Amino acid sequence: MVTLTGDSLLARALPAIARDVDSMFDALLPGEGRLAEAMRYATIGGGKRLRPLLLTATAALHGADRTQALRAAIALESIHAYSLVHDDLPCMDDDAMRHGKPSTHKAFGEAMAVLVGDALHAFAFEVLADPATSGDPFVRSELVQILATASGPAGMVGGQVLDIEGEGQALDLPAITRMQQQKTGALLSASVEMGAVLGRLPPEGRTHLKGYARDIGLAFQIADDLLDHAGDEAKAGKALRKDAGAGKQTFVALLGEERARGQARMLVDQALAHLTSYGQEADLLRSIARYIVERDR
């Protein structure tokens, strides 16, 4: 099992990216007013920060500037945060807790939570379009395109629609895989691809990284399904065991717990195989892949 104590590289990287992301959010988010307060509540001081870690690790692998990579990571994490704020609303998943504290709509009201999500969505692209993220307008344009595609109808939002429409339906493995590749995998894949763009890796050179990202994206979702099925709510910081009650179609519901665990491990092995052309400089990406299926939150 990969643990933070057993993997010194990851044990250093996760707290470091959490500090850096919180610091960057604090510097970039507006500071005055109720909306600013709610945006900060939704973004600072919570979450695993795996997406920013994937982005900055991939960027570092190809020699990109860390500050620019952190700005791109803030944009990405803003999209992720907005999706969680909206997911927690009563009309969606109706979750009262997130990251061990009341969900944004519980703390600020439903109307403000909707507006917080809207504001974070806009804020993400404001950050990416700023020359401080990259002096090259073509790089900025590609970053915007990747994140927009990953978060829109062909990505996260489209996957959420498939999830809602699939409730109570008997979906097969290809259908569940497609849904989760969009709902969860798209932003994880964007993390890696955006890091590669900042590192000036051409599209034809990203094939192995895209394969790595695709496989860890599915492994991440299976791990999430397993946590919802048998995890510890205190460690997760949110309500668990809701998927079955809501009639949601998951890898665990279709495959069973043991087969789902085996599928996740197989996907991690495939992800690691995509990194064979890299040496020890890619060890952090390898550690992240292993950690994804062994985490407890």
Domains, the chain, in order of start with CATH, read 8-294 (1.10.600.10)
Q: Helix count (H) and strand count (E) of the chain?
A: 15, 2
The first and second tokens of residue 175, run together, are 């259908």
What pLDDT, on the 0 to 100 scale, is given for residue 294? Answer: 86
What pLDDT, on the 0 to 100 scale, is given for residue 253? Answer: 87
What pLDDT, on the 0 to 100 scale, is given for residue 295? Answer: 81
Tell me how long the chain is. Answer: 297
End-to-end CA distance of the chain: 15
* Torsion angle (degrees, nearest 10) of CA 22, 78, 189, 172: 120
Distance CA 157, CA 215 (A): 20
pLDDT along the chain (297 residues), means of 10: 63 96 98 97 94 98 98 99 98 93 97 99 99 98 99 97 89 93 95 98 94 96 88 56 67 91 96 97 97 82
The first and second tokens of residue 157, run together, are 């939002």
Distance CA 168, CA 165 (A): 8
What pLDDT, on the 0 to 100 scale, is given for residue 246? Answer: 62
pTM score above 0.85: yes
- Angle at the Cα of 62 from the Cα atoms of 60 and 66, rounded to 5 degrees: 30
Stated as kind and residue range, the H or E segment containing 95 is none
Buried/exposed 110-128: b ≥16 CB within 10 Å, e otherwise: eebbbbbbebbbebbbebb
Amino acid letter, residue 183: K
- For 285, half-sphere exposure in the C-beta direction (CA atoms, 13 angstrom radius) is 37
What pLDDT, on the 0 to 100 scale, is given for residue 93? Answer: 92
What is the residue whose two structure tokens read 């109808």? 153
What pLDDT, on the 0 to 100 scale, is given for residue 1? Answer: 44
Distance CA 183, CA 79 (A): 12
What pLDDT, on the 0 to 100 scale, is given for residue 2? Answer: 44
What pLDDT, on the 0 to 100 scale, is given for residue 243? Answer: 61
What pLDDT, on the 0 to 100 scale, is given for residue 27? Answer: 98
The 3-class secondary structure across 190-227, one letter per residue, is HHHHHHHHHCCCCHHHCHHHHHHHHHHHHHHHHHHHHH
Q: What is the pLDDT of residues 167-199, one digit of tens each?
A: 888 889 999 999 999 999 999 999 999 999 999
Please tell me what DSSP assigns to residue 185.
I
Distance CA 51, CA 69 (A): 12
DSSP 270-286: HHHHTTTTS-GGGHHHH
Q: What is the pLDDT of residues 139-165, one digit of tens each?
A: 999 999 999 999 999 999 999 999 999
What pLDDT, on the 0 to 100 scale, is given for residue 242? Answer: 67
What pLDDT, on the 0 to 100 scale, is given for residue 169? Answer: 85
What pLDDT, on the 0 to 100 scale, is given for residue 5? Answer: 44
